[in-house]
Structure 1
Amino acid sequence: MVKRANGHWAERIGVVVLVAVLLGGAAYGWAELRALLSGVTTSTALDGRARSGGDTNILVIGLDSRLDERGEPLPAELYEQLHAGDQRAGGYHADVLMLLHVPADGGHPTVISIPRDDYTDLAGCPGGVCQGRIKEAYGYAFAAESHRLAAQGVTGVAAREQRSRDAGRAAEVATVRQFLGGVVVDHFVEVTLVGFFQLAEVVQPITVCLSGNTRDSYSGADFRSGQQRISAAQALAFVRQQRDPQHEFTDLDRERRQQAFLVSLAHQLKESQVFGDPAKLGKLVSVAEQNIAVDSGLDLNALAHQAESFAGGDLTLASLPVERFEKDAKGEDVAIVDPEKIRAAAARLLGRAVPPPPAATAGPAVDVVNASGREGVAARVLKTLPSRGYRAGHVANAKHTHHTVVRYGRGDSASAAKLVAALGGGYGLGYDSALPAGELKLVLGTDFREKAGQVEPVPAAPVSPADELSGGGVPCVR
């Protein structure tokens, strides 16, 4: 995707391919299908991690990358078809995150979509970054590992690519597990951008349904109300549409489009004879081999026995609640969530007991000193501190200074660094022996980048955890 705004449409293919495997396996034969998929990239990122031992949870990661699994550019003609930029575009954000839950007792599977811009703690502080959008855990860990390998003299592109991706996969899995309240992630499926278009080409036309007419010159979307059959090129516009002059679209609307497309594609795979057509089946397998990676422990045979209900369309697709949307210090979109609501929603959807909220801990107190010359900025920042895990201290004014710095006393360097990261990074740290333990002082200089919308963040209607789609038929979305 050429622009950042496009970076969340095509990677949904991971769930789609997995559903395709589950739907088609019964008709084609699991042993034969497993043999055909033997060329799919396998990863050791989850080796040695504990499994749930009962239900199966599979994290689907849609990777925003314009490179293949070996780190090599795609064919030039493919870049031209995608209209998404070349190998210089994109990156390593997990722009799609979906948790596929398959009950051990044969119950109906559930797919939980996790909005990519949810602002949260990043497990293990990958690359030294402790807070950010949930999608960024992958990229920070990838970059840190890539730099480490380069320093060690690892020059092979393919080897460095996969080892760096393994670091990203491990960080993303750990962050999602933490975000959902300790949910065990047994396996993962990772897919890159190009897979969507190539799979859509194999199975087109695909039936989708919209609740109203919509048009978007930016993505090329031009659809009428009701059911319609669309081509692979139109499918790109369907799932990447981000605006309409008549409606306000958000990431949650695009997320619902993704889910609806998944259901529609699953329906198309059942209705068509893809798995009975050697040519189409070969193309489908080729898509998987070139654009998908799975953990080494994923056993398609075992998964098939747990997921027979896929074939009947008994699939629930659910979204997690978002409180509001804001801009971070860098001007990037972030989704603000309530961690307790997230854990409760995940527990309900996965049939688990709701975990108790973490024990309340009194974080460091932060005094905010306004040396920026901008009226009221210290008070505005102070209001945000409790939501970041800090106790709000006092505000004061001081002579103008250019550099923003967080000062800390003995034993509080980590808390100070975390505050700098929460403010967007790039600010200074300074030891101050006069500060007692458990107290920080944030001095705002003229270089401080105040978040847009910090005073009066624009709320979005929270998405209820009960806001779900059924996997049967072709659902209508806006």
Structure 2
Amino acid sequence: MTDAWPGREGRRMARNKPAPAPAEYAHERDPYGDPYADPYAGDQLRGRGGYEQGYGRRRRRWPRVLAILLVILLAVTAGAYFYLDSRLKREAVLDQPGRLADTPGTNWLIVGSDSREGLDSADRKRLATGKAAGRRTDSMMLLHYGSGGTSLVSLPRDSYVPIPGKGSNKLNAAFAFGGPKLLVKTVEQATGVRVDHYAEIGLGGFVGVVDAIGGVDMCIKEPMRDPKAGLDLKPGCQTLSGAQALGYVRTRASARADLDRVERQRQFFGALMKKAASPGVLLNPVRSIPLALNGTGNFLVDEDDHLHDLARMMWAMKGVSGGNGVTTSVPIGGNGSAAGVGSYISWDKRKASALFEALKNDEKIPSSVISK
């Protein structure tokens, strides 16, 4: 075969010829098929910017890549939201006749029940929950937020109130007689405040949520020991596990019994929500994912409530625990007892009326009616 560049000069040119252009620029090669032509020569000849224009074309791919990534992120986020929302347990609680007309602001009835659902025999022994079947109310709180501020009001379970169709009895008897529906109607009738949302969590769910976020920090003023609640705490600031937290909010082994308990419940739930909404939990997949799964899998809400409603409730609870709201209990007037009812507590009618009137009108709670 004849050398394209004969002689010494041909050999020198052969040694110095450029490497072939990359395959992706084949369309830019010399129209006569020279494999060694400058791949950008066509651009230069056609006045399209040459090397700079080629770099610009590659750079303009990034907006499209970012747009695709954004769409994927939005799709994953939406999918996660609807999946978690579907895990919430729902019950038709608020859709019933004879309820109060709407009142300003937003009101949640938050209930901690003693349901043992999901607990096996080992769990019941470890948590000292006993073997009682069904579900009753261990705690009830009314969370209000609006233009008048945010407040968390404990409703002692031994409060003596009228229960529609059942006469007067302890507040937690309403739940035993007719479940969440009758409890909502009883609370509305006793307070004059319309309940807009309902949330309930059982014993196992409570423990799971606390453990999911790595426990909750509480400062214990004095030793607390209650074998019935599986509680044995020493004084000092410490992180309570799910089992310890359950005993802490359930024990009545103190001087004021249920009144001390509702105070601890408000303190603990506020601290729980504050930590659950903290960056250390929300931005940490090791904490946030178990929290989301435990929370949505164990909360029972009204049929019209959704995940974003629970998130708003959690944020309001965080605000209360951070000092941007009021925590109190219904003012107590005294004690009593009745046949078939046992010992109960009664509300201070004047102070309780002023408290609930403020909530009903979405106004600031008077300091004179705030109590522990």
- After TM superposition, the score normalised by the length of structure 2 is 0.67
Aligned to 2:21: none
Indicate the SS of the match to 1:132: strand
Match of 1:177 among 188, 192, 204: 188
Structure 1 position 350, deviation (Å): 5.2
Aligned to 2:153: 112
Q: What aligned pairs does 1:6-17 form with structure 2 within 5 A after superposition? A: none
Aligned to 2:371: 467
8 Å CA contact retained: 1:30, 1:301: no
Aligned to 2:85: 37
Does 2:186 match 1:207?
A: no
Aligned to 1:140: 177
Q: 1:115 to 1:188 in 2, by over 3 A?
A: same
Q: 1:307 to 1:351 in 2, by over 3 A?
A: farther
Structure 1 position 304, deviation (Å): 5.5
1:196-227, Cα deviation, whole Å (9 max, x unpaired): 21112112332111333444444343434442
1:327-379, Cα deviation, whole Å (9 max, x unpaired): 3324733112244432222223555589xxxxxxxxxxxxxxxxxxxxxxxxx
Aligned to 2:110: 60
Structure 1 position 289, deviation (Å): 4.0
Indicate the SS of the match to 2:149: coil
1:382-417, Cα deviation, whole Å (9 max, x unpaired): xxxxxxxxxxxxxxxxxxxxxxxxxxxxxxxxxxxx
Unmatched 5+ stretches in structure 1 = 1-27, 69-73, 142-167, 355-463, 469-478
Q: 1:82 to 1:310 in 2, by over 3 A?
A: closer
Aligned to 1:3: none
CA distance in 2, matches of 1:261, 1:30: 32
Structure 1 position 232, deviation (Å): 2.3
Q: What aligned pairs does 1:67-146 form with structure 2 within 5 A after superposition? A: 67=117, 74-86=119-131, 89-103=132-146, 105=147, 108-123=149-164, 125=165, 129-141=166-178
Q: Which has the larger radius of gyration?
A: 2
Amino acid at match of 2:113: L
Unmatched 5+ stretches in structure 2 = 1-75
CA distance in 2, matches of 1:223, 1:34: 40
Aligned to 1:46: 94
Q: 1:29 to 1:346 in 2, by over 3 A?
A: farther
Match of 1:286 among 279, 284, 293: 293
CA distance in 2, matches of 1:30, 1:467: 43
Among the aligned pairs, what percent are the same residue?
Answer: 29
8 Å CA contact retained: 1:94, 1:116: yes
Indicate the SS of the match to 2:248: helix
1:78-129, Cα deviation, whole Å (9 max, x unpaired): 323322123xx154433321111121x4x63211110001111102x1xxx2
1:169-201, Cα deviation, whole Å (9 max, x unpaired): 221111000110x21111211222221211121
Q: What aligned pairs does 1:200-239 form with structure 2 within 5 A after superposition? A: 200-239=210-249
Root mean square deviation of aligned Cα: 3.3
Indicate the SS of the match to 1:45: coil
Q: What aligned pairs does 1:132-171 form with structure 2 within 5 A after superposition? A: 132-141=169-178, 168-171=179-182
CA distance in 1, matches of 2:313, 2:251: 34
Q: 1:319 to 1:34 in 2, by over 3 A?
A: farther
Q: 1:222 to 1:307 in 2, by over 3 A?
A: closer
Q: What aligned pairs does 1:319-330 form with structure 2 within 5 A after superposition? A: 319-330=329-340
CA distance in 2, matches of 1:306, 1:77: 33
8 Å CA contact retained: 2:205, 2:298: yes
8 Å CA contact retained: 1:319, 1:465: no
8 Å CA contact retained: 1:120, 1:132: yes
Q: What aligned pairs does 1:71-470 form with structure 2 within 5 A after superposition? A: 74-86=119-131, 89-103=132-146, 105=147, 108-123=149-164, 125=165, 129-141=166-178, 168-180=179-191, 182-243=192-253, 248-271=255-278, 273-301=280-308, 312=319, 313=322, 314-330=324-340, 332-349=342-359, 351=361, 465-467=369-371
Amino acid at match of 1:174: K
Moved more, 295-304 or 248-257: 295-304
Structure 1 position 310, deviation (Å): 5.1
Indicate the SS of the match to 1:59: strand
8 Å CA contact retained: 1:102, 1:307: no
Structure 1 position 136, deviation (Å): 0.8
Moved more, 208-217 or 38-47: 208-217
Q: 1:194 to 1:301 in 2, by over 3 A?
A: closer
8 Å CA contact retained: 2:92, 2:303: yes
CA distance in 1, matches of 2:291, 2:213: 9
CA distance in 2, matches of 1:291, 1:44: 17
Amino acid at match of 2:290: K
Indicate the SS of the match to 1:273: helix
Amino acid at match of 2:300: A
8 Å CA contact retained: 1:37, 1:288: no
CA distance in 1, matches of 2:313, 2:333: 34
1:435-472, Cα deviation, whole Å (9 max, x unpaired): xxxxxxxxxxxxxxxxxxxxxxxxxxxxx73126xxxx
Structure 1 position 52, deviation (Å): 2.5
Q: How many residues align?
A: 290
Structure 1 position 303, deviation (Å): 7.1
- After TM superposition, the score normalised by the length of structure 1 is 0.53
Amino acid at match of 1:178: Q
